Structure formats: structure tokens, C-alpha cells
Amino acid sequence: MRSTAPRNNKLKPSSNLIMNGSVRVRVIRTLLAIQNGQSLASVLDPLLNSLHDGDKGFAHALLLTTLRQWYALERLLDSLADNSIDEKEVRTTIQVGLTQLLYLQVADHAAIHETVEAAKEIEFAHATGLINAILRKVAKNPSKFRKKCDKKHSLPNWLAYQLKQDWSEQYDDLMQGLRQPAPMFLRVNTAVTSVEDYQQALVEFEVEADLVELTSGLQLENSSDTATANSILTKGLRLHQSTAVNALPQFAEGAASVQDMHAQLAAPLIHKALLNKLSVKSDDADVDTDTNNNNNNEIRILDACAAPGGKLAHWLELISSNESSLFHVKQNDESVSMVSKVKLTAIDNEAPRIERIHTNLQRLNLSQHDLQQAEKNIELNIVCADATTWQGAGKKKSKLVFDAILLDSPCTATGVIRRHPDISILRTEEDVEQTALLQADILHNLWPQLKVGGYLLYVTCSILKQENVEQMQDFMTHYNNVVAIEFSDDCNWGIEQAIGRQCLPIDSESGDGFYYALLQKTAE
């Protein structure tokens, strides 16, 4: 899921990232670039590509750990300095030194000497005495200062305050969880192999992984207009250690994808809802029932804000599977087709991100060409468009277009801070309000395009209620043709909300912070 919150307006991005000097100098310059508004995603590869293979691991750990502990290190630094340190370059250099001493167990003499030398390289030699004194003080009792650093949160105060308001019971665990590295999860392409077989293949490649099973229960209406629990089992793999994708079996051939476990819930949820819509037969003339009658049983579905395409690919895997119940349903011991064709549209508003969708689908053999070659009854259309204004019907009179919509909504991405710790530096309190307004605009544009009886799955990777349950509550006050589908008690993930469920990134084995709400359109 992308983060499209406005960049901190106080920071001006700069592309003048100089990648020379020692490893520590390059890390310091990378951190300065992030403070100037550049994202970690845009500067990490230039940093690593500029280094010898033997230095990449240390640089990556130094950069990511410093970012994860950024605000805790800042508070520690302020307590250690006799006078205020205003020079950003000096503060950053000291924080890099503190990370080595407190979190990376670098030898004292190496951490102090190399950090002082780095200050000289970036032309801040006048501060070497101060840097040396602070680092030596910490090196005398690192466990004391590590405890002091770990005692509180490592977030900007505005964000910590909001999270305490939203999650008072989980606050302490959440604050510590956000400071830890996130586990690496794999989604297995079950059109190629089973999860269990791929787990065994990993063993042969000396990659250890645990099977993770998430159960989702949905209270969906059946043909007798009563809600019944529909259970969905989502299987994924959690690696014991993060591993380069080129070390994974058949990765290039599309056997697996790297995707957070909680992100893997999206496609099965909207797919189950779609299947339910198609199976329900209503006698109510006001309810749209043309799905099974018009256009030779064609259905149309939408993935909005689809880049980089992980959830889109997962949905395509489910639809195109040889066992897909969209195309093969048993009735009276015979296999019949529920639909003759699926028209899937995916939109995103940035051309480079559209290219990433194409690249990811090609690896998974899910491009339109691949689907045609495999004789799948799927028409895939990927469009560069703004979800706040785009109309799927084009110039057609009817705006009721889609049987199901997956809205992977733009958000502040606070639920993936473990993977993208630069978020805590780049986001501002004002970004949350602006993002919530953007989400509302997208919802109000897409909802009228959903058919009666259709479903919209709203997803974010935020852990802020303003973007999630509060957004849903506000949205539902504007329409009298929307109901929120309840999750049943057999869900083994997330925290039940007034609408939807919220996952929190609390422990070292859990997935990221995702929010899910499933809405159904009813007759006016």
C-alpha cells in the first residue's frame, strides 16, 4: 500500500545526495537527505549501490536502526549536551555514533574514532571535541544509556500522543513494537504450488520459515436474507530471517511474493464478498441482479490505488486459479460457470507506479498477455488515473459499474513504520487531516460506481483511527444505502472496531498495522 500523505512542507527535498567517503559519512548524508524531505525508498538503493558488498550490511543496519530510534536518540542527546546543539549535521553525526554504541555493539574505539573522523569528512571538524566527549561518556556505561533510550517512545510527540489517545490499552506495547524490525512474510502463488510444498522447498534452500494461518469470518447475507458466517483461511510464510529474494526458490518464476501477512488478507476478503454477491439471488426488483443476466454473465471489478500491485496480483491469482469458484461451481454434481468473463480494472495516479504494477504482474505470469495465453476469461485493464475523479463508466449513461471494489486507500502509512522508519520524520500532524480528506474524496467518487448488492473493501496501512474507523463512521453518515459487514468471532487477527478490524504491529512475529472495513451497497 502506498503512502500518499503530503510531504512535510517544512522540508525541501534535495536530489544532491553525494555518495562518497567512509561508510559512516554516506549514512550521515543519507540521514540528512531524509531530514530534507527525501524518502528512505528513494535514497536507500543509491547508498547501498555505492558500497562494496562487505559494507552493505553494516550500512543498512546503521541507517535503519538510527531511523527506528531517531526520536529516542534525540532526547538522549539533548540530555547529554550542556548546551543546545542546533547544527543538524552535528546532531545527526552524534546520533549515528550513539546507534553504534547502544544498538549495534560496535567496539567503543571504532565507533568513536570513525564517527569523529566522519565529522571531519563532512567539514564539521569544529564539533569533533563535542562529539568525542558525548560518545565517550556513553561508552563508559552503555547499558545505562540504552535503558534510558528504550524507556519511552521513539516517535514525534504529536504522533505518540495521538496513538495514546487511540490505543491506550495497547500503547506501551505498540511504542516498543514500532521500534523493532518487521518480519519478512511470503505469499505463495497457489496457482503454482501449495504453501506447504513451498515451505519444504525453502528448507532445501536452507531458508527457515513458519506457516502462518489467519482466519477471517464475515457475516454475509445469503439467499434467504439472513447473515451467515463465511470463514476464510489465509496461509502465508514468515521467514526466521529476512532473505534476499534471489535466494528464494522459483521467485523469478512467480512462485512467491514478498507481502506482509496482514496485507495478504485483502484479496481473500474482497474475493469472498464477490463470490457471495454472485451467489445471492434476490426477488427484490429494486436490487441489481443484472450480474448474472447481462453481458453474457460478465462481471466488472475494480482495484483502486493499486500500485505497486501486490493485492492486485493476489486477487488475480485467486480469480485465475484452476479451482476458482467464479468459473467452476458444482450444482447437482455438475460443474457450471458462475460467470463467463471477469473485467478487472486497476487504477493508480502515478505513471512510474503503474510501471511497477506491470513489472510485478509479468514476474507472476499475470499480465494480460499471460492471461490470454493461458486462456483465462479475464480482461485486465490498468489505467493511470486519479481515484478522486475517475469514472469507470466513461461517457456511458449508467454509473453503476462494478460488482466489487478493492480500495487500497492512500494513508499516512503509520502502520508500516517498522519497515519505513523515515515515516516518523517525514509525516506531520497536518498530513493526517489532509490525508483523511483525500480518502473521503476517493470514497465519495467510487461509491456511486458500485452496483447495488456490491461490496467495497476499504483498506489502509495506518494505525490512526481518523483514517480508519472514524473515516468509515463519517462516510456512512452521508449515505442511506450502505451497511458495514461484521467480522465474526472466529477472526484470529486484529482488534474489533465499531466498523471493521484493526491490526497493530505490536510484536516481532506479527504483521504490519492494517485496517479493514467491508461495506455493502443496499437498495435506496
Q: How many domains does the chain have?
A: 2
Does one domain contain both 138 and 261? no
Residue 412 falls inside a structural domain? yes
Return the number of other C-beta atoms located less than 10 Å from residue 68's C-beta.
21
Q: How far apart are CA 21 and CA 9, in angstroms?
A: 30
As given in the structure block, the three cell numbers for residue 223 are 439467499
On whether the CB atoms of residues 283 and 237 are closer than 8 A, the answer is: no
Q: Which domain covers residue 128, as residue numbers?
A: 23-152
Residue 57: which CATH number?
1.10.940.10
pLDDT reported for residue 394: 83
Residue 15 falls inside a structural domain? no
SS3 18: coil
Does one domain contain both 141 and 193? no
Contacts of 329 (CB under 8 A, 6+ apart): 335, 336, 337, 338
Does one domain contain both 349 and 409? yes
Does one domain contain both 108 and 227? no
Does one domain contain both 202 and 148? no
Does one domain contain both 189 and 269? yes
SS3 369: helix
Label each residue of 300-346 as H, E or C: EEEEECCCCCHHHHHHHHHHHCCCCCCCCEEECCEEECCCCEEEEEE
Is 491 noted as a catalytic residue in this protein? Answer: no
On whether the CB atoms of residues 452 and 522 are closer than 8 A, the answer is: yes
Residue 327 falls inside a structural domain? no
User: Which of 105, 136, 152 marks a domain boundary?
Assistant: 152
Does one domain contain both 244 and 388? yes
Residue 281 falls inside a structural domain? no
Does one domain contain both 106 and 196? no
Looking at this protein, which amino acid is placed at residue 359?
Answer: T
Residue 126 falls inside a structural domain? yes
Q: How far apart are CA 48 and CA 68, in angstroms?
A: 18
* Catalytic residue of the set 149, 305, 411, 461: 461
Half-sphere exposure of 38 (CA within 13 A, CB side): 19
With 0-12 CB in 10 A as exposed, 13-18 as middle and 19+ as buried, what is 436? buried
Residue 49 falls inside a structural domain? yes
Residue 163 falls inside a structural domain? no
Does one domain contain both 54 and 193? no
Does one domain contain both 308 and 212? yes
pLDDT reported for residue 284: 41
Does one domain contain both 231 and 134? no
Instruction: Give the pTM.
Output: 0.92
pLDDT reported for residue 288: 46
pLDDT reported for residue 17: 66
Per-residue pLDDT of the chain (524 residues; tens, 9 = 90+): 444 443 343 444 444 566 778 999 999 999 999 999 999 999 999 999 999 999 999 999 999 999 999 999 999 999 999 999 999 999 999 999 999 999 999 999 999 999 999 999 999 999 999 999 999 999 999 999 999 999 989 999 999 999 999 999 999 999 999 999 999 999 999 988 999 999 999 999 999 999 999 999 999 977 555 666 688 999 999 999 999 999 999 999 999 999 999 999 999 999 999 999 988 743 343 444 444 444 558 999 999 999 999 999 999 999 988 666 677 555 555 555 667 899 999 999 999 999 999 999 999 999 999 998 888 899 999 999 999 999 998 877 678 899 999 999 999 999 999 999 999 999 999 999 999 999 999 999 999 999 999 999 999 999 999 999 999 999 999 999 999 999 998 899 999 999 999 999 998 899 999 999 999 999 87
Half-sphere exposure of 39 (CA within 13 A, CB side): 14
Residue 217: which CATH number?
3.40.50.150
Return the number of other C-beta atoms located less than 10 Å from residue 352's C-beta.
9
Does one domain contain both 106 and 226? no
Residue 293 falls inside a structural domain? no
